[in-house]
Amino acid sequence: MQRLEAEGRLDLELGLDPQARLLADLRAQEPPGGVLATALGIPQAPADLTLRLDGPASGADLRARAAFGELAGFNAEGRVALDAAGGGALTLAGHLDAPANLAPEPVRAIDFTLGAKLPAGGQPELENLRLSARAGEITARGSLALLEAEARIANSAELAPLVPEIIGWEGITLTARVEDGERIQAQLRPRGLRGPDPMGAVLGPNPEADYRGTAFRIDSLEVRGQGARLHVEGSGWDVLDLTARLDVPELKAIRPELSGPIAVDARVTGPAADPAIALKAASPGLFVAGRRVESPELVAEIPSVSGMAGTLRLTGRAEGQPIALALRAAQEGDLVRLAEGDITFGPIRGRGRHAEHRHHPVRRHRHHRRREPRAALRAGWPAGGRAAARRGEAGADPRGPPEHRRPHRGAECRGRRPALQRQRPGEGHRCRLRLEHPRRAAPGQCRGPRPLQPQ
């Protein structure tokens, strides 16, 4: 066979008789720019391929060679056998030099051996497979009923172009069993693992990972390190339903200013492109910068990752006082705003919310849409009593359009020692104060254009 539009030639002689002799003689040649070299991404290389099979059907010798100049090459020798019933066998050993554009340096030069057979009317069996390169070695054997494989990855220094300098290992071993072409059991065992904290402190030098499941379902995934343990199970591909639990017996391994155990539970559900996430972190007690926090619990819920909104709740006790924090964020267009927030520390309570108001006009004013932040602070002691203050600015008409209105800020105090909280100093403020005391029911009011001074 010869190309008409360009130089190139292919010669083939073929004669396969399973009861007598096997003969195949192939020769292909192309100059630079040929079909074969172009398909490999090296069009500048010439191509020269030869394959010869010759011998009795019970065992014919096979030799194959391919050369693409100095850019790629392949050499192999082996034996092919066929039987009259339709079965066959193949053994092959050789070397492959892959093109630089298809394989990085650590896996470019590969030595290989292969042994396989196909019983008549049966399933193919892989008697042995070995791939060896500078990066490591892969071995496999078995059938569709049970396939066993092992990969040994060399020291990370051998993979320097592929592995960042901040992480490394002395070696990694991966073993796997695949039953019925579906069920998978795998174990990952790094040795001498190193990396930046907190990863290095959490995993340690010899972490372990075990997997059971299929390509679409995780029956069990466990990662055990010197500073943490992770368990994951569930299903997912296009739609996710995953649960995970992370146990950290000592947080100091992650952050030096923290101390104590913590457990984090997570669930991921919904479309893989935009899942919902729910988190819960709890501990019997932590030390934060040397201060004891009892029974802290953090709960966070995100209805969708793309929505960038959700809720967060924190509870616990610190310095003998209950603490609580509740936040709710909502998305408005391209912005994410704090829609509502509540904080409690002992007797002190704070609340903040971002409210959207629609202004109704007076006479000829048009409708105005206004977002106005509001906040309130409550502080108290065990006994009653109340002081409240509301501040506006002189000349501000609350009924006018938004450009004539200014935000009001206020504070409240409860207790035996009523006192007005500190306000921001300014000029021309109006103050309205109502003071109530549990032992004196004599309210008072004051008005005037006097500025509020810090107390």
pLDDT one-digit tens code per residue, 121-164: 888 999 999 999 999 999 999 998 999 999 999 999 999 888 99
Mean pLDDT, rounded, of the chain: 80
Kindly indicate the confidence band of residue 176, based on its pLDDT and cuts at 50, 70 and 90.
Answer: very high
CB burial readout 359-372, b (16+ within 10 A) else e: beeeeeeeeeeeee
Beta strands in 214-367 (DSSP E): 217-224, 229-236, 239-248, 258-259, 262-271, 276-282, 285-288, 291-302, 310-318, 321-332, 335-345, 348-359
Domain for residue 355, yes or no?
Answer: no
Q: What is the pLDDT of residue 6?
A: 56
Domain end among 41, 73, 102? 102
Domain for residue 446, yes or no?
Answer: no
Domain for residue 424, yes or no?
Answer: no
Domain for residue 249, yes or no?
Answer: no
Q: What is the pLDDT of residue 41?
A: 94
| pLDDT at 358 exceeding the cut of 70 | no
The residues that bridge with 327 in the sheet, in sequence order, are: 312, 341
Kindly report the length of the chain: 455
For residues 192 and 120, membership in a common domain is answered with yes
For residues 2 and 92, membership in a common domain is answered with yes
| pLDDT at 190 exceeding the cut of 80 | yes
Domain for residue 16, yes or no?
Answer: yes
Tens digit of each residue's pLDDT (9 = 90 or more) over 28-49: 999 999 899 999 999 999 999 9
Q: What average pLDDT does the segment 348-368 reach?
A: 53
Left, alpha or beta for 180 (phi > 0: left; psi -120 to 50: alpha)?
A: left
Tens digit of each residue's pLDDT (9 = 90 or more) over 207-235: 999 999 998 999 999 999 999 999 999 99
Tokens of 211: 């997997």
Q: What is the pLDDT of residue 339?
A: 81
What's the total number of domains in the chain?
2
Domain for residue 284, yes or no?
Answer: no
| pLDDT at 446 exceeding the cut of 70 | no
Task: State which amino acid sits at residue 158.
Answer: E
| pLDDT at 117 exceeding the cut of 50 | yes
Domain end among 237, 267, 290? 237
Domain end among 189, 206, 237? 237
Tens digit of each residue's pLDDT (9 = 90 or more) over 41-72: 999 999 999 999 999 999 999 999 999 999 99
| pLDDT at 406 exceeding the cut of 80 | no
d(CA 58, CA 282): 69
Domain holding 68, by residue range, is 1-102
Q: What is the pTM of this model?
A: 0.72
For residues 168 and 135, membership in a common domain is answered with yes
Question: Which among 417, 344, 361 has a CA at the least distance from the CA of 385?
Answer: 417
